[in-house]
Structure 1
Amino acid sequence: MFASMARAATTSDVFNAIAEPRRREILALLRTGERPVAELSQELGMSLPGTSKHLRVLREVGLVRDRKAGKQRLYGLDGRGLQAVHEWTGGFEQFWNESFDRLDAYVQDLKQERQEE
């Protein structure tokens, strides 16, 4: 029962899906365009079934789309799925900007003190 609950969380939540390093690697590879699973598998040094499993999770949470191209299936990034991640991380942008502003003000104060000495 517990395993099925964990599986459901992984496949229904973008944050859980991208918590897995291999899935983040797949997303990074797909930034340059669509790729077949065999190419992704080779780039990652993983088995085809392992790569397919990660792609399935990424597809289920809306981060990856796939389409048939002749005999192969091509996988591509679906940026819409990253919207929730973007919105969440964007909430920290103000924090970092304010932190850098405070650091800059501190550095300027130090420079001023040195010039006055």
Structure 2
Amino acid sequence: MSDDLDTVFAALADPTRRAILAMLLEDDMAVTDVAEPFEMSLAAISKHLGLLDRAGLITRERRGRVTWCKLEPDALRAASVWMQGFGQFDHLDLDALERLIEGDVGATADGAP
């Protein structure tokens, strides 16, 4: 289970992969459509998709000449359950966590240092 969680969190650590997952929330997409908004090669997008696929966050299916990507929301269940374990102590402030990760530790929600 720990290895699975590590793989999911590693996949979620990259902003490009998080953006891809957000796009796939809307609908299944062809790989070329997934790649369109990003300023990187199709090969680079394919590597991101491969990591998401290995993490179980998406599945890829070949339909004729086109490869389609589909979000697999159940793959986030274990990560969600793990994070909810911290809810017993205090409300998890994801905005504060994001600021911490980005190195803006001194900022607060109301703008005070």
TM-based fold match above 0.5: yes
Following superposition, the deviation at residue 19 of structure 1 comes to 0.5
Output the amino acid matched with 1:52.
S
Structure 2 gaps, min length 5: 93-113
Structure-to-structure mapping, 1:50-89, within 5 angstroms: 50-89=44-83
Superposition RMSD in Å: 1.8
Following superposition, the deviation at residue 44 of structure 1 comes to 2.3
Output the amino acid matched with 1:55.
L
Following superposition, the deviation at residue 23 of structure 1 comes to 0.7
Cα distance between partner residues in 2 of 1:69 and 1:42: 19
Structure 1 gaps, min length 5: 1-8, 98-117
The aligned counterpart of 2:14 is 20
Richer in helix (by share): 1
SS of the equivalent of 1:75 reads strand
Question: What TM-score does the superposition give when structure 1 sets the normalisation length?
Answer: 0.67
Ranges of 4+ aligned residues in structure 1 off by more than 4 Å: none
Cα distance between partner residues in 2 of 1:92 and 1:83: 15
Question: What TM-score does the superposition give when structure 2 sets the normalisation length?
Answer: 0.69
The aligned counterpart of 2:101 is none
Structure-to-structure mapping, 1:1-117, within 5 angstroms: 13-94=7-88, 95-96=90-91
